[in-house]
Chain A
Amino acid sequence: MTTELATPGEESAATSTILTIADAGEALRSGTTTSVELTTAMLEKATALNPALGAYVEITSDLALEQAEAADAAFSAGSDAGPLQGIPLAIKDIIKVAGVPTTANSRILDPAWGGEADAPVVARLRAAGSVFIGKSTTSEFALGQPDAEKGFPVPHNPWDVTRTPAGSSSGTGVATAAGLAFGGLGTDTGGSVRGPATVNGHSGLKVTFGRVPKAGVVPLGYSLDSIGPMARSAYDCALLLQVMAGYDAADPNAADVPVPSYTAALDGSVEGVKIGLPIPYFFDHDQLDPEVRDGVLSAVQALVGLGATSTEMELAHADKAQHANALILVGEAYAYHRNNMVQRWTTYGKYTRPGLVRGMFYTAADFVQANRFRVLWCEQVAKALQTYDVLITPSAPTTAQVAADMNPSQRLRQPSYTGQWNLSGLPAICIPTGFSSEGLPLSMQIIGKPFAEATVLKIADAYQRITDHHLQVPPVDALITTAA
């Protein structure tokens, strides 16, 4: 079956060159475009490419156009709710949006889960005038790989559709990279914002635990979950976070900590910033791709050129920290899923259930011990961050893997560089550093102190002011089939 699609070719010159939230905001306010025009183009592109890229579980066209019209009317009336007004975004389908089913990409979950109201973070985006293009695909229950037999769209990496787009915030990652949204929401419990940002070639911020209220989100790991912004640029992540962050009583883990201006510090300067490079495990592992490592080190040198300093250092037990995060995650997740796993095992996807069941195999003492180790790890990292402003590591040991070669058992036997920062609750942003010899995105990760999102965003933004890796767009139009 082929689809005749004239819209991508007909997309106006104005909309086709708008890549970021910041650019879109300027265009909206200068009258170069309207939210309806941006949204219409994006909806048509999303619809055309979803069969190939699987970014969305549901494209919410009516809602999006309604919101776009409201945004344009507000602009016309002289009302401006801020940088997100009129901006099309993707919402990960484990986050509640009023009036729209939430599936968690699972046949287990009642789509009416969570009731009728928006999750608090979604309510904030709605109040800011943003536009919801759709509910983006996720690994089932934010864990594991997609199972095509369950009937949900399977997301694909837009740089190479045979490769994984990573998870679990796959759909928002794919949509952001391919221009099917300007950005959106993901969640991160062990790397699920940062992984997709890494392999899809854009920016993704895991926030400090408690920075963004996580009520209205299907839980994975209660003491690890966070909602984070995903967008092309760190600057756009800052614009999103400005709206998302802040206390909400609906989340017992929400932090009542003032929200600073995340864009105020984005002045391109990193003069005097002290960067720590934890070499053992993060930079010397035998499974670390040399191109990934070299990309990070090259980026660090660029930051040094801007006035930062970098020092090699050590963080003991980084591998154990990854394991402790994984243990706590599956323990907390299995408690949530236990009854359904007993009663409806095969209703879960075939790649989800072996991951979830690991929570059953660990003992209660193991869970407690992982939480004792957690304190040691937090103390160690905090000591390091007394000396350094940030730590920088590779985002992942490799570029995007071939999807057909992946299985849940691999993850037990591979290094990973993201869960350590969920374990310690710290903010961490992943941004592109270039492309591999195979044309796949490379990425680095910048980790900061608790509630120092402004610092990690500042450093990421400074790097992106002198590079354009985050602005590269995969050649997705070739994936649209046209009528003969």
Chain B
Amino acid sequence: MSDTTTESTDYDPELVVTAMLAAARLTVSDEEKAQMIKDFPVMRASADELYLPELEFYEPAPKFNPAAYYPA
């Protein structure tokens, strides 16, 4: 049973999802797309919440060490 709630947004999830699927060259069923349109605002909101002001001076966890690719 799919979730039937629709989150309120200031953008059109259907436009966004349609465009992103097209750009990604993914062909999905109408039912799948409809669920993605419902889910996108929830996903987007959970990502937006991570943009915390206190992360101003934080660098990402993965670190790049170019010397690792050369013999010691």
Contact = CB atoms under 8 A, between A and B. Distances in A.
Nearest to A342: B25
B46 A374 contact: no
A376 B43 contact: no
A409 B32 CA distance: 11
A125 B32 CA distance: 42
A410 to B, nearest CB: 7
A369 B24 contact: no
Contacts of A372: 50, 55, 58-61
B1 A405 contact: yes
A371 B51 CA distance: 11
Interface in A322-345: 323-324, 326-327, 341-342, 345
B50 A410 contact: no
A413 B42 contact: yes
A363 B20 CA distance: 11
Interface stretch (A113-121, A133-141, A353-361, A448-456): A353-361
Contacts of A323: 46-47, 49-50
B9 interface: no
A407 B26 contact: no
A478 interface: no
Given A372-B60, A409-B35, A357 B26 contact: yes
Interface string B4-40: 0000000000000100100011111000100110111
Interface residues of A, number: 35
A375 B60 contact: yes
B2 A409 contact: yes
Given A375-B58, A375-B60, A407-B2, A324 B24 contact: no
B61 A327 contact: no
A368 interface: yes
B52 interface: yes
A354 B39 CA distance: 10
A411 to B, nearest CB: 10
A354 B52 contact: no
Nearest to B49: A320
A412 interface: yes
Contacts, number: 95
Nearest to B35: A409
Nearest to A370: B50
A112 to B, nearest CB: 27
Contacts of A376: 52, 54-55, 58
A256 to B, nearest CB: 13
Interface string B54-72: 1100111110000000000
Contacts of B49: 320, 323
B5 to A, nearest CB: 8
Contacts of A360: 20, 24, 26
A445 B52 CA distance: 28
A102 B18 CA distance: 35
Given A354-B32, A376-B58, A405-B1, A320 B43 contact: no
A345 B61 CA distance: 32
A417 B24 CA distance: 32
B52 A409 contact: no
A367 B53 CA distance: 17
A317 B46 CA distance: 12
B46 A327 contact: yes
- Which of A320, A357, A407 has the most CB atoms of chain B within a 10 A radius of its CB? A357
Given A223-B62, A323-B47, A375-B61, A345 B40 contact: no
8 contacts: A323-B50, A327-B50, A361-B36, A362-B47, A369-B47, A378-B61, A407-B3, A410-B3
Given A324-B50, A362-B47, 10 more contacts: A354-B35, A358-B39, A360-B24, A361-B43, A369-B55, A372-B58, A372-B61, A374-B61, A376-B55, A409-B3
Interface of B: 1-3, 17, 20, 24-28, 32, 35-36, 38-40, 42-44, 46-47, 49-52, 54-55, 58-62
